[in-house]
């Protein structure tokens, strides 16, 4: 297993022979090692029906190779979903390169040795995805002949304004540029289903990167993408299991029917993401995905939990207006004290998840649709609740995402 530090300034960027066969990067997303922080320039694309567009033939697809000869770069490898993606890809026989910081995990609790153990089976490249120059130097030191696919599982930990644009947008751009420079012809992005109705800063950042990714595919023959938009994760619904087990009420907003979801387990989502690596039918598509079964409201989730615990239902219903009042106060104060901007944003995030369903938004009706939200996998929320009741939430900590 190779490990890397990006601190050495004596390493030179080395050319890779396979790049000579790649189509040039579009000027809006070109990489220059001497100007790594040049701003991206937005461009408007028009297609004229009167004159044909001449494009070079597509490159031979990496999908014709066996997994053992296919190199997949995973960014966000130590994240909640990323570590399961690494595990799934390695189990399928892919040559996996995992990008990780030397201090990883929630609040940087894991050191380098713990990270190596977590990502065993893959080659760990220690670097910072927020620094394009460092990322390229670190990857060059691996002396890779090429990269076939990039899987990006990056997500801001807090959802704060600056963090969202630094991670959900810029770090994702850096990962895209670094992968393309080494020949990657497919990019799998872990996004979120909530970007359908973008009211939050991290949603806008994700959508902007999705647009850049799609634009690159338009300009670059032979380059494809898969944008995966999952519904709620199991861990986001498990925060109240232990409190209810201890006899406290199940907290929900309004009547408990304001938001519904088809939650998906980390293993099932990782399996779907791994499918996107080789499945040509999933290329150049936005792919909403949920877990098996019908959508569940918070009320139904609470009733399930009480049934599994053998307890009488005990709900605490909080008016959604309480959150609106708090957000209003925080927004007012943030105008006087800019340091409170993120606090106001966190309030908006909590309000969004309390009121909006994590399902496909039907463009015809403007309503969320359980029927139009695809299902995948075999793990159910009931099985997850049963496991947490027995074993607790170890390994499922919400960290900075905690609401209740």
Block means of pLDDT (10 residues each) for the chain, 404 residues, are: 37 33 41 36 30 43 92 96 97 97 69 90 96 96 94 93 96 97 97 97 97 96 96 93 94 93 97 97 97 96 97 95 91 90 93 95 94 97 95 65 43
pLDDT of residue 111: 80
pLDDT of residue 23: 40
Which pTM value belongs to this model? 0.82
21-39: buried (b, 16+ CB within 10 Å) or exposed (e) per residue? ebeebbeebebeeeeeeee
Question: In three state form, how does the secondary structure of the chain look?
Answer: CCCCCCCCCCCCCCCCHHHHHCCCCCHHHCCCCCCCCCCCCCCCCCCCCCCCCCCCCCCCCHHHCCHHHCEEEEECCCCCCHHHHHHHHHHCCCEEEEEECCCECHHHCECHHHHHHHCCCCEEEECCCCCHHHHHHHHHCCCCCCCCEEEECCCCCCCCHHHHHHHHHHHHHHHHHHHHHCCCCEEEEECCHHHHCCCCHHHHHHHHHHHHHHHHHHHCCCCEEEEEEECCEHHHHCCCHHHHHCCCCEEEECCCCCCCECCECHHHHHHHHHHHHHCHHHCCEEEEEECCCCCECHHHHHHHHHHHHCCCCCEEEECHHHHHHHHHHHHHHHHHCHHHHHHHHHHHHHHHHHHCCECEECCCCCCEECCCCCECCCCCHHHHHHHHHHHCCCCCCCHHHCCC
pLDDT of residue 263: 97
pLDDT of residue 384: 96
**Beta carbons within 8 Å of 309's beta carbon, 6+ residues apart:** 244, 245, 389
DSSP strand pairing (95-100 vs 123-126): parallel
Rounded to a whole number of angstroms, the CA Rg of the chain reads 22
Residue 373 in tokens:
């939200």
pLDDT of residue 157: 85
> Any bridge partners for residue 225, and if so which?
187
Task: Name the CA dihedral angle for 209, 211, 215, 221, rounded to a multiple of 10 degrees.
Answer: 80
Could you give the CA distance from residue 363 to residue 377 in angstroms, rounded to a whole number?
26
Kindly report the number of other CB atoms within 10 A of residue 246's CB atom: 7
Name the residue with tokens 């979801």: 261
Of 190, 194, 228, give the one whose Cα is nearest residue 368: 194
pLDDT of residue 268: 98
Could you give the CA distance from residue 129 to residue 36 in angstroms, rounded to a whole number?
12
pLDDT of residue 393: 82
């Amino acid at each position: 297993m190779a490990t890397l530090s990006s601190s050495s300034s004596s390493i030179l960027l080395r050319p890779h022979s396979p790049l000579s066969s790649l189509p040039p990067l579009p000027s809006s997303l070109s990489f220059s090692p001497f100007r790594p922080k040049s701003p991206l320039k937005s461009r408007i694309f028009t297609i004229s029906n009167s004159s044909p567009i001449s494009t070079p033939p597509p490159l031979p697809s990496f999908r014709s190779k066996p997994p053992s000869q296919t190199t997949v770069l995973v960014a966000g490898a130590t994240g909640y979903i990323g570590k399961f993606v690494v595990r799934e890809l390695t189990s399928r026989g892919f040559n996996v390169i995992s990008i990780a910081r030397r201090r990883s995990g929630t609040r940087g609790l894991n050191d380098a040795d713990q990270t190596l153990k977590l990502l065993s089976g893959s080659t760990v490249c220690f670097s910072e995805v927020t620094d394009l120059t460092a990322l390229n130097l670190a990857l060059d030191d691996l002396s890779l002949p090429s990269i076939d696919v990039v899987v990006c599982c990056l997500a801001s930990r807090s959802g704060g304004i600056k963090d969202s644009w630094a991670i959900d947008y810029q770090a994702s751009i850096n990962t895209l540029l670094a992968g393309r420079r080494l020949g990657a012809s497919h990019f799998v992005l872990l996004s979120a289903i909530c970007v359908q109705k973008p009211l939050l800063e991290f949603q806008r950042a994700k959508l902007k990167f999705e647009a850049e990714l799609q634009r690159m595919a338009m300009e670059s023959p032979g380059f494809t993408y898969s944008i995966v938009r999952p519904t709620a994760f199991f861990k986001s619904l498990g925060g109240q299991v232990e409190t209810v087990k201890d006899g406290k009420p199940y907290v929900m907003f309004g009547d408990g029917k304001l938001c519904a979801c088809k939650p998906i387990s980390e293993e099932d989502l990782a399996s779907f993401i791994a499918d996107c690596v080789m499945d040509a039918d999933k290329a150049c598509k936005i792919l909403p995905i949920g877990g098996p079964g019908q959508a569940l409201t918070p009320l139904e989730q609470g009733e399930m939990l009480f049934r599994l615990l053998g307890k009488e239902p005990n709900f605490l219903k909080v008016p959604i207006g309480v959150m609106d009042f708090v957000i209003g106060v925080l927004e007012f104060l943030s105008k006087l004290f800019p340091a409170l901007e993120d606090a106001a944003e966190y309030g908006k995030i909590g309000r969004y998840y309390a009121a909006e369903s994590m399902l496909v938004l039907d463009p015809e009706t403007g309503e969320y649709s359980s029927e139009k939200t695809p299902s995948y996998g075999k793990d159910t929320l009931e099985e997850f609740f049963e496991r947490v009741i027995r074993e607790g939430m170890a390994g499922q900590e919400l960290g900075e995402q905690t609401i209740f």
